[in-house]
Amino acid sequence: MYDYSIKMNEILIEYYKYKEEMNKVSECYLKMGELYKMKNDKSLMYIGEYYFVKFIGKEWGELENKEYIYRSELRIGEAITQMTKSLGVTLNGTITIINQNKDINELPFNTSFIQIGSVKKLEDKDQTNKFISEIPIIKTKDNKNITIKDIWKKKLYITTEHPLPSELIRQKVLHIEEYLCTPIECCIDDVIKKKKQLTSQFIISTQRNTPTMTLLSLLQGSLIPQVNGGIIEYFEMIKSTDINKEYREQLLNEITSFLDLCNECLNLYETILNKKYFQLHLKMKDGLHSLYSILNSLIIND
C-alpha cells in the first residue's frame, strides 16, 4: 500500500515539474516523507494474508519452539496483539518480537521471543499447504556503501500440516527447506517478478482499453533511472566475470524479455495516450532506448 502511494507521488512530481507547479512538487515530497515514515513503522506494517510465527522461550509453555503459518488480514501490530491475547500472554517486556532473519542461536537464554514474518502462497491455488518466505540478507561490513553484489536472499519453502485457508486460523509447520540465493539470483528473481506484474497490468489495460495507473507506475520505475536504477545495476552484474556465466546469460535473457514487454506496454500507451502524461511517456521511451543500447553492447565473457 505504501509503496504504491509513494510511486503515485513520484508520478505526480514528474507531472507537476513539467507544469512548473513547484508548490505542488514540494507538497508531494512532504507526503512521500510521511509515507516513508509510516512504511518503516512496524506497528503500521501490513503483513499480508499469511505469516510465519515461531514461539521461542519457556514462557510460551506448550507452544515453545512450535512453528505455525497464521492467516490474518490485520496489520502486524494488531495481529500480534490479537494472537498473544488469544494465547493468554502479554507482551510486557518479558516477550520480545523478532523478525525472521534473526539467528535464534544468538538470543539470550532466559528471554522469550515471538518470531514473525510475512509469507506468500507458493502455489496459485485457493487452498495450499506450501508457502514461501523471502528474507533479504546484507553481506558486507560497510553499511554506508552497500552495492547490489552485497544483497543476498534466504528463501524458506514452508510446508504445513493441512492447507490454508481453513476453519482454523493457523496450521502447524511440518517442514522448512532453506535456500540461499546469490546476488545475481536475486536479480533474476526480481526481473521475473517485474515481468509478471507488468504482464498482469498489460492484460488489464488491454481489456479496459486504457492504461492503468499501476502500469504507468511500473513502467516509470523500470525505465527512468532517477526513479529506479535497478536494470542498470543488473547490467553491471552481467559484465562481472567473477559470476557464473550461466546465471549472467539467464539474467541477460530475462532483461531482454522484460524490456520487450516494456516496449509493448509503451506502444499501448501511444495509442491511447492521455495528454497530461505525454512528456512522461517520452521520457520513458528515451529511457527504454538507453537501456536497449546498453543491452546490445553487452558481451558475456568467461
**Residue 177 has what pLDDT?**
95
Nearest to 187 by CA among 256, 252, 138: 252
**Residue 158 has what pLDDT?**
95
**Residue 94 has what pLDDT?**
55
**Residue 59 has what pLDDT?**
78
**Residue 38 has what pLDDT?**
60
> Residues 6 or more apart from 78 whose CB is under 8 A from it?
none
Domains of the chain: which residue ranges?
1-40, 50-181, 184-297
Q: What is the mean pLDDT of each run of 10 residues along the chain (302 residues)?
A: 60 67 76 68 55 84 87 65 62 62 74 83 84 88 79 93 83 94 93 93 86 84 67 86 89 95 85 67 89 86 60
Residue with cell 503515485: 8
- Counting other chains too, the contacts that 132-139 makes at CB distance below 8 Å and 24 or more residues apart are 132/156, 132/157, 132/158, 133/52, 133/100, 133/158, 135/100, 135/101, 136/101, 136/186, 137/101, 137/180
Give the CATH H-level superfamily of domain 184-297: DOCK DHR2 domain, lobe C (1.20.58.740)
